[in-house]
Structure formats: C-alpha cells, structure tokens
C-alpha cells in the first residue's frame, strides 16, 4: 500500500480549483488594497487634524537664590549655574 501511485485528479476538477483560487486571491488583494488605503487616509487625516493647531512656546525667566533652589513649573533644574557655582565655592559638602 505504501508503493501505490497517487490517484490522478481530473483536469476539469483541477481547473475549477485553480479558478476558485484565482478569484480568492483577487478578493484578498482587493481587501488588502482597501485596508492600505484606509490606513493612509487615517494617517493623513490625523496629520491634517493636528496641523490645525499652533504650537505654543512658554518661556519662563527666573533667578537663582543663594541656596540653589531653582524651581520652575514644579521641577528642579539640575546642574544650574548657581548650583555649580555653589559647589565650587563650598567643596566641604562631599560632592
């Protein structure tokens, strides 16, 4: 039974299977193309939507006090000039 030759498929059956596969491939390609175009439209729409708004730049000026506490908008400016100068003047703090 292992050495049996495989059964041959009728030519019309083969042609019908191939025709069905071609139609299926065409449908998959069209679905992929529509999906790609929708993705491009979504990205383009997002860029267009975001381009409507202007960027706002906020500048803040501040001076350093003697203790090098530089706070702006709730954050600490690390490595500010006042802090660097304070460290150079007071090397005993161990940094």
Domain interval for residue 72: 58-95
d(CA 88, CA 95): 10
Asked whether residue 7 falls in the same domain as residue 43, the answer is yes
What's the rounded mean pLDDT across residues 7-33?
90
Asked whether residue 9 falls in the same domain as residue 47, the answer is yes
Over 90: is that where the pLDDT of 90 sits?
A: no
C-beta of residue 70 within 8 angstroms of C-beta of residue 82? yes
Asked whether residue 49 falls in the same domain as residue 4, the answer is yes
Over 70: is that where the pLDDT of 16 sits?
A: yes
Asked whether residue 46 falls in the same domain as residue 14, the answer is yes
d(CA 78, CA 61): 16
**Tens digits of residue pLDDT in 49-82:** 999 988 888 887 766 655 555 555 555 555 555 5
Asked whether residue 40 falls in the same domain as residue 71, the answer is no
Asked whether residue 41 falls in the same domain as residue 71, the answer is no
- Quote the pLDDT of residue 1: 57
**Residue 76: in which H helix or E strand, if any?**
strand 75-76
């Amino acid at each position: 039974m292992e050495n049996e030759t495989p059964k041959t498929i009728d030519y019309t059956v083969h042609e019908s299977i191939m025709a069905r596969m071609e139609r299926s491939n065409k449908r998959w390609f069209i679905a992929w193309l529509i999906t790609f175009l929708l993705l491009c439209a979504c990205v383009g729409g997002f860029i267009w939507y975001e381009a409507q708004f202007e960027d706002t730049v906020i500048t803040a000026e501040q001076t350093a006090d003697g203790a090098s506490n530089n706070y702006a908008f709730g954050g600490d400016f690390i490595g500010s000039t006042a802090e660097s100068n304070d460290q150079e003047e007071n090397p005993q703090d161990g940094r």
